[in-house]
Structure 1
Amino acid sequence: MLKCFWNETVASLYKETLSPALRKILHSALWFRFSSASFALSSILPKTYYHLRSIMATQQLKHRTTTSEETKQQPTTSTMNGTARTRRQKAKRGLRSLGIAVAFPLSLTLIDISLFGSSQQYRAMEKPFWVPRLWALHLACLGSAFLMGLSAWLVWAEGGFHRYPTAMLLYLSQLALSLAWDPVVFKAGATRAGLVLCVGLLGALVGCSRSFKNVNPIAGDLVKPCLGWALLLSATNFKLAYR
């Protein structure tokens, strides 16, 4: 088919200008050149085609690899962001609950001192060296309230009040007994009743120390200074009752 097309093209170009013998020689020469070019082109095109196909396949593979890596990285980044956000929220809740646990007994103790903490009889009495001044007495009450609030928060943070409901009852009991001492002793002047309150306070603090230690040893250790203060308060109350 290609040869027929070539014959018709050459014949139409040279049939009027060249002799038959010269046209035949020129036709053979041109056909040889055309056939050689066609053969070369036919051998080059498949190689070029397969080369282009391999390049396209390589580019597609790179694109798929990049896409898969990005897809793997996106969930990892979102998971890390979610974990960091959860930790920040937990930290905020923990700080808020700690502030409430400490501020609650401190505020009640401050109100109790401001309303019932003044006593002329206590200031005027002759006190031995180990009996604290009135301001030191109030300061020690505030320190005890702070330590008990902190220890109670440590127990609550580990779910101790849910596992040991008695621990919560003991904590509230010592807080109530501590708050009742100022109005009973300083305002009412009932020093012997105050001595009973001190004994109850000591028992509640011993129970708190044991219960808190079962949940968190640090919380149990924080109660020990409060026990020492309760012993000093009991001795002071005994001096007031039997001076």
Structure 2
Amino acid sequence: MVQNIASAFEQSHQGLLAALPEADLGLLAAGAIVFGLQKLVPSYEDSYKLWYPKLKKPSWNPPSWVFPAVWIPLKILQSAALWLVWKSAGADKASISIPLAIFGVHALLGNQWNVVFFGRRDMPGSLKWMGAFWLSVAATAFSFYSVNPLAGLLVSPTQIWVTIAAKLNYDIVKLNKGDEKLK
């Protein structure tokens, strides 16, 4: 019975299944890279637990649990996108050097925003980093799309979330402007 269902699914979705490359260790490596780059930045747990709660936030500020609930799936999508770009290049890895460099910049800028906002508690300065991060995510999606359209689309949800995060960052800076005791 299960085999019949799987066979029926396979027949009805042959185009989709044929379009997907076979999974390999590269997918695991892509995940390790995406999740590992984030580990280069200290957690700033004290800032997050002690400083961040004291900040004035907009009424639409998501609860704390939303951030990991959103970022973990986004990182998984980014891992799959990175893997698809790598697989699409085949033996010609030089052809993807620019998209991979843009992706690296995107990852580093996201990490730097954490350093500036939570580590240095430099809220006005964090806006510049957030803007650069937003642009780098857009550039990653565009460059990945040019190599493998599905890879570019997999990065697109990150662009949506970073747009929301940028607005939240802006609102928090605006609401706390001039409150020097928050440093």
Whole-Å separation in 1 of the counterparts to 2:112 and 2:72: 14
Larger relative contact order (C-alpha < 8 A, sep ≥ 6)? Answer: 2
Query: Deviation digits for residues 198-219 of structure 1, max 9, x if unmatched?
Result: 1111111111111111121111
Q: Does the 8 Å CA contact 2:138/2:159 hold for their aligned counterparts?
A: yes
**Residue number in structure 2 paired with 1:235:** 167
Whole-Å separation in 1 of the counterparts to 2:123 and 2:73: 23
User: SS state of the match for residue 115, structure 1?
Assistant: coil
**Residue number in structure 2 paired with 1:200:** 132
Query: Deviation digits for residues 114-164 of structure 1, max 9, x if unmatched?
Result: 622442232233433432233322443333322222101101101185214
Counterpart AA for 1:100: A
User: SS state of the match for residue 43, structure 2?
Assistant: helix
Alignment partner of 1:158 is 2:85? no
Query: Where do 5+ consecutive residues of structure 2 fail to align?
Result: 1-20, 176-183
Alignment partner of 1:140 is 2:80? no
* Aligned residue pairs, count: 151
Q: Does the 8 Å CA contact 2:56/2:172 hold for their aligned counterparts?
A: no
TM-score, normalization by structure 1 = 0.56
Counterpart AA for 1:96: L
Identity, % of aligned pairs? Answer: 22
Whole-Å separation in 1 of the counterparts to 2:44 and 2:112: 10
Counterpart AA for 2:36: S
Query: Where do 5+ consecutive residues of structure 1 fail to align?
Result: 1-89
- Match runs of 1:203-222 below 5 Å: 203-222=135-154
1:99 is displaced (CA, Å) by 0.4
TM-score, normalization by structure 2 = 0.72
